[in-house]
Structure 1
Amino acid sequence: MSKKKIVLAEDNTTLSLLLKFRLEKDGYELFMATDGKEAVELIENQIPDLILTDVMMPFISGLEVISHVRNKLELKTPIIVFSSAGQEEMVLKAFNLGANDFMGKPFSPNELVIRVKRLLNM
């Protein structure tokens, strides 16, 4: 069975590397983007099984990434969005655009892995 591919769009390098390490340990193949523009390119080239994106990123926001995936690419790929606490409006926008799940920062990498497994094993 081939590894499930995940695109991780996160501009915080420390968090990115932590999540990459944790998810690869569970057998996922990760593709890293440090901004929304890179994320869109990776999504178009890799057609991942899951997308993890921060809301606030350079160039293209996480919300624009969701919109691109759902409206331009017309993909049903599950999307988990991260955002710093206190951004309820962003969370609602993310869900309205087609996000499947949301996690407020800071969050537990172990909880993320559980949510990833739940979305990929539906």
Structure 2
Amino acid sequence: MVKRQIIIVEGDVIHSERLKRNLEVENYNVDVVYNGIDAIMTLKRKWVDLIISSITLQGTMNGIQLLQEIKKHKDFSNIPVIIQTSKVNLEQNVYDIGATLFVAKPYDINDFIKKIKELLPD
């Protein structure tokens, strides 16, 4: 079985590393980047099955801007994107832009992994 490739785009280093470890235990290949520019560069360089992005990122691009860039690019627009944030008032906005799933922080990691498995079935 081929491992699915996930990229985490998260401004919080501790949260991203914790999420990465949890996903690797579930047999996913995981890359972590901390800003939108690095996320776009990674997407241009390698195939990704799922993007998990926070709204708050390091650098000048936030998660909403990253989502807009992903959805504009023909090579990336079909990749599922999960947006995770504590800013629950942004839920409709991210769905309108094209997010596959909105997850409010904090969340239960087991529920989150279950949702990922639903998006990336074996």
Matched letter for residue 3 of structure 1:
K
Distance apart, 1:73 and its partner CA: 3.4
Indicate whether 1:68 and 2:61 are aligned: no
Q: Percent identity?
A: 23
Distance apart, 1:83 and its partner CA: 0.8
> Could you tell me the TM-score, scaled by structure 2's length?
0.90
| Structure 2: unaligned runs, 5 residues or longer | none
| Structure 1: unaligned runs, 5 residues or longer | none
Distance apart, 1:119 and its partner CA: 0.7
Query: Does structure 1 conserve the Cα–Cα contact (< 8 Å) formed by 2:12 and 2:57?
Result: no
Deviations 1:27-70 (A, max 9, x none): 00001011111112112212210000001213211111111111
Q: Number of residues paired by the alignment?
A: 120
> Could you tell me the TM-score, scaled by structure 1's length?
0.90
**2:26 counterpart residue number:** 26
